[in-house]
Amino acid sequence: MGVRPDIIRLGTSRNDADAIADLHTRSRQSAYRGLYGDAYLDHDLFDVSRATWRTRFEHFDPAHDLILAAMDGGAPIGLAYASFRLNPRIGALLDNLHVAPERKGGGLGTRLLAETARWLVDEHAGAPLHLEVYAPNAAALAFYERLGGVETTRYAEEVPGGRVVEVARYRWTNPADLIR
């Protein structure tokens, strides 16, 4: 763990899609336990994640989408996915920012967020960055606020398992502020 993982851009390989989906699944099983239904997390999530990520890679458009992976030993340990196509009304949305549960707290989330901001600054004239997070995830809310995110709205969403959960949307008007 002494070597700083590389952060690379992905976008076309089905093998990459499956590796990212598997990391995404592990992260969600850890972070969303008690929020999503256990049956979904334990039985459905793996297939749902693989299908979602295969579709994202299949329809990847580098002009509108960004998929980043923090790699260690050839395996992803962190991921970020942003797109202008997910919610065109608000612009760039960071839909996924996940770090392997055993690697949290080492700065990977901050680095992935900074690289996402760099993409916006370098390739999209510094367009604002948005992300959405489940409001019960106090650690994530504190993380985004510590990095200068400003909460802009909240809304209710039904999550897998049938619970209704509040979602908070954060915005960075100037993503360059995230680049360190």
Which helix (H) or strand (E) segment holds residue 91: the answer is none
Residue closest to 170 by CA, chosen among 137, 138, 136, 128? 128
- List the domain boundaries for the chain: 6-178
What φ, ψ does residue 28 adopt, rounded to 5°?
-70, -35
Per-residue pLDDT of the chain (180 residues; tens, 9 = 90+): 455 777 877 766 667 899 999 999 999 999 999 999 999 999 999 999 999 999 999 999 999 999 999 999 889 999 999 999 999 999 999 999 999 999 999 999 999 999 999 999 999 999 999 999 999 999 999 999 999 999 999 999 999 999 999 999 999 999 999 997
Residue closest to 12 by CA, chosen among 52, 55, 60? 60
pTM for this prediction: 0.93
Residue 116: count other Cβ atoms within 10 Å of its Cβ: 25
Is 6-178 assigned to CATH 3.40.630.30? yes
Joined together, the tokens standing for residue 78 give 């962190």
The type of residue at 111 is R
